[in-house]
Amino acid sequence: MTELSKLISDLVAIDSVNPDLVSGGVGEAGMAQYIADWGRAQQLEVAVQATVPGRPNVILRAPGGGGGKALMLNAHTDTVGVAGMDAPFSPVIRAGRLYGRGAYDMKSGLAACMLALLAARDMGLRGDVLLSAVADEEYGSIGTEVLLADWARWPADAVLIAEPTALDISIAHRGFVWLEIETQGVAAHGSLPEQGVDAIAKMGTVLVELAALDRQLRAEPTHELLGSGSLHASLIKGGEEISMYPAFCKLLVERRTIPGESDAHVLAQAQSILDDCAASDSQFQAQVQATFSRPPYAIDAAHPLVQSLQHVATAHLGRQPALIGSSWWMDSALFAEAGVPTVVLGPAGAGAHAREEWVNLESAAHCQAIYTQLAAVFCA
């Protein structure tokens, strides 16, 4: 077994199910302990950063000699749940794949970062190479939020996130805005139609217009990698009993956004649908508010960080990695929002949120080499 396979196996064997995602999940403390112990054993600088109780981040640092740029490698330590899996924390290696919860998302990327840091320690670089192993990416990104709140302690000039990308370079992903729309009616007995106003039926009109907006957005893609934004209804409730006109209806909507679509823009679009409904129906009353949002992420393909990564990856792989957009949200958006240039490259595999999860070990070894080379170039 290679040093990398051994390390991935060790990490997969540690239960770190996100407790906000799955009630009863044990959280990231075991991972933090392992990574901190490992860092100390390797004579790296180790800092344990508290987030919420029992869910610390760990930051490892291979200090440079001074005068160079600092690169931070980043990986999350939590995983999604394990329902339906036979032996989620008993890693198995078969035919070049390592199976187990978190093998792909993203303990293999984390292990590759750890070994790259170790290599960087001995390269005589001017700049620092850091690794932030953060909690809670799969739910609320508490870990990266705390890391960024204390960024002055580890002011890296760039971040590489080791989320799986099948060795391509992700330079964009969508954000999202959660909207809550409420229509008001007038409660009345079902036998009194002249008195009642049906809040659920009013929401029907809103739903038709939201579906039209989704079609319109998707018919006019504007972003080279991400296409367009989109939206869908998620949850709805309203009404009190079968013989009553419902006085309210509440709808939750998720709007996925592309770069350039701000929260204010999304809210204004929804408000204009409500305004149109009100203009053609004097009994229509509704409000919309945004309850939570995360920004989209994008870095210019011509950015020196992207160019450096593409250069070292091409040299190592013997093929040019594609510059891609990812469909899911990642912590990259938070680093980018904080003004830190960020790229994403990680291993190949499958089953990130499925019953069978595996990573291609060869691709993880490529990641280790590519991260090491990027550090050598960036922090020289």
Q: How far is the CB of 85 from Zn ion (least distance, A)?
A: 17
- Residue placing its CB nearer to Zn ion in the complex, 105 or 261: 105
- Residue placing its CB nearer to Zn ion in the complex, 136 or 261: 136
Binding segment for Zn ion (CB under 5 A), chosen from 155-163, 228-236, 310-318, 337-345, is 155-163
d(CA 340, CA 333): 10
**Tokens encoding 69:** 């740029």
- Residue placing its CB nearer to Zn ion in the complex, 127 or 143: 143
Interaction of residue 168 with Zn ion, rule CB under 5 A:
no
Q: How far is the CB of 2 from Zn ion (least distance, A)?
A: 23
Q: How far is the CB of 137 from Zn ion (least distance, A)?
A: 6
Q: How far is the CB of 106 from Zn ion (least distance, A)?
A: 4
- Residue placing its CB nearer to Zn ion in the complex, 167 or 200: 167
- Residue placing its CB nearer to Zn ion in the complex, 21 or 207: 21
Interaction of residue 105 with Zn ion, rule CB under 5 A:
yes
Q: Give, to the nearest 10 degrees, the angle between helix 304-317 and helix 361-378.
A: 130
- Residue placing its CB nearer to Zn ion in the complex, 170 or 285: 170
Helix, strand or coil, per DSSP, at residue 98 = strand
Interaction of residue 128 with Zn ion, rule CB under 5 A:
no
Phi and psi at residue 38, to the nearest 5°: -60, -45
Binding to Zn ion in span 36-65, by CB under 5 A: none
Interaction of residue 17 with Zn ion, rule CB under 5 A:
no
Binding segment for Zn ion (CB under 5 A), chosen from 14-22, 23-31, 100-108, 194-202, is 100-108
* Amino acid code (one letter) for 187: A
Binding segment for Zn ion (CB under 5 A), chosen from 92-100, 160-168, 245-253, 280-288, is 160-168
Interaction of residue 106 with Zn ion, rule CB under 5 A:
yes
Q: How far is the CB of 364 from Zn ion (least distance, A)?
A: 14
* Amino acid code (one letter) for 136: D
- Residue placing its CB nearer to Zn ion in the complex, 292 or 328: 328
- Residue placing its CB nearer to Zn ion in the complex, 28 or 163: 163
- Residue placing its CB nearer to Zn ion in the complex, 125 or 162: 162
What are the DSSP calls for 230-280, one per residue?
A: EEEEEEEEE-S-TTEE-SEEEEEEEEEE-TT--HHHHHHHHHHHHHHHHHT
d(CA 178, CA 305): 32
What are the DSSP calls for 148-196, one per residue?
A: HHTGGGS--SEEEE----TT-EEEEE-EEEEEEEEEE-B-EETT-TTT-
| CA 24 vs CA 20, 81, 364: distances in Å | 9, 10, 30
- Residue placing its CB nearer to Zn ion in the complex, 161 or 251: 161
Binding segment for Zn ion (CB under 5 A), chosen from 77-85, 158-166, 233-241, 248-256, is 158-166
Q: How far is the CB of 266 from Zn ion (least distance, A)?
A: 25
What x-and-dash track marks residues 178-217 binding Zn ion by CB under 5 A? ----------------------------------------
Binding segment for Zn ion (CB under 5 A), chosen from 14-22, 106-114, 234-242, 340-348, is 106-114
Q: Residues binding Zn ion: what is the number (CB under 5 A)?
A: 3
Rounded to a whole number of angstroms, the distance between the first and last alpha carbons of the chain is 32
d(CA 73, CA 121): 14
d(CA 44, CA 124): 14
Residues 6+ apart with CB under 8 A from 285: 183, 184, 202, 278
d(CA 144, CA 140): 9
Q: How far is the CB of 302 from Zn ion (least distance, A)?
A: 27
Closest CA to 112 of 171, 147, 186, 164: 164
d(CA 309, CA 373): 9
Q: How far is the CB of 110 from Zn ion (least distance, A)?
A: 10
Burial class of residue 10 in the structure, from the number of CB atoms within 10 Å of its CB (0-12 exposed, 13-18 middle, 19+ buried) = middle
Q: How far is the CB of 160 from Zn ion (least distance, A)?
A: 14
Q: How far is the CB of 336 from Zn ion (least distance, A)?
A: 16
Residues interacting with Zn ion, by CB under 5 A? 105-106, 163
